[in-house]
Amino acid sequence: MANTDLLQFHASVPTTLSVNGTSLSLDLDPRISLLDLLREHLGLTGSKKGCNSGECGACTVHLDGRRVNACMVLAAACEGCAVVTVEGIAQGGVTNGDRLHPVQQAFIDHDAFQCGFCTPGQIMSAVACIAEGHATSEAEIREWMSGNLCRCSAYPQIVEAIQAVSGRRAG
């Protein structure tokens, strides 16, 4: 077998995971990222592909309750894991017409987005920031949200939205 033939052969990896509460059994290309699985194969396009190198946070999702950059995680490594995307945090799911998650609503109420590209990642990071107990002050919020970049500079409104949900408003 020629070396080029080896480069073209990729066995699929059987993987079982939960995405937004739905259990899935998939045969995955071992090279596919969690972000590409979500966007290109499952049609969950809320998580955005910004830098594709873990630097911007636009692809932030929750993996077993922890925030991760989905572009940096191989989907096959998520065997047995629970993945939650921005589409999955609304009560009952946004597609069912049910209520938005309080952080989603706060982003609307506080104008915490402009172009909206980073918003899903910001929201997922904000939900985690609050759940982790890192929303006790403006400085702490800014520090724990620093992995999520906003090119439109809506940072003050993002902080206000997080403070509104966490019950801590700026003085």
CA–centroid distance for 70 within its chain: 7
Nearest to 63 by CA among 128, 14, 146, 149: 128
In what side-by-side order are the strands of the sheet with 82-84? 22-28, 13-19, 82-84, 60-63, 66-69
Give the architecture-level CATH label for domain 94-166: Orthogonal Bundle (1.10)
At the topology level, CATH places domain 12-88 in Ubiquitin-like (UB roll) (3.10.20)
Q: Where in the chain is the domain with CATH 3.10.20.30?
A: 12-88
pLDDT tens figures, 23-61: 999 999 999 999 999 999 999 999 999 999 999 999 999
* Residue matched to tokens 């909206």: 116
pTM: 0.88
pLDDT of residue 6: 54
Q: At what angle do helices 102-109 and 155-166 cross, to 10 degrees?
A: 130
Mean pLDDT of 143-148: 96
pLDDT tens figures, 110-134: 999 889 899 999 999 999 999 999 9
Rounded Cα distance between 80 and 164, Å, is 34
Q: Where in the chain is the domain with CATH 1.10.150.120?
A: 94-166
pLDDT band at 84 (very low <50, low <70, confident <90, very high): very high
Mean pLDDT of 8-15: 81
Rounded Cα distance between 34 and 120, Å, is 16
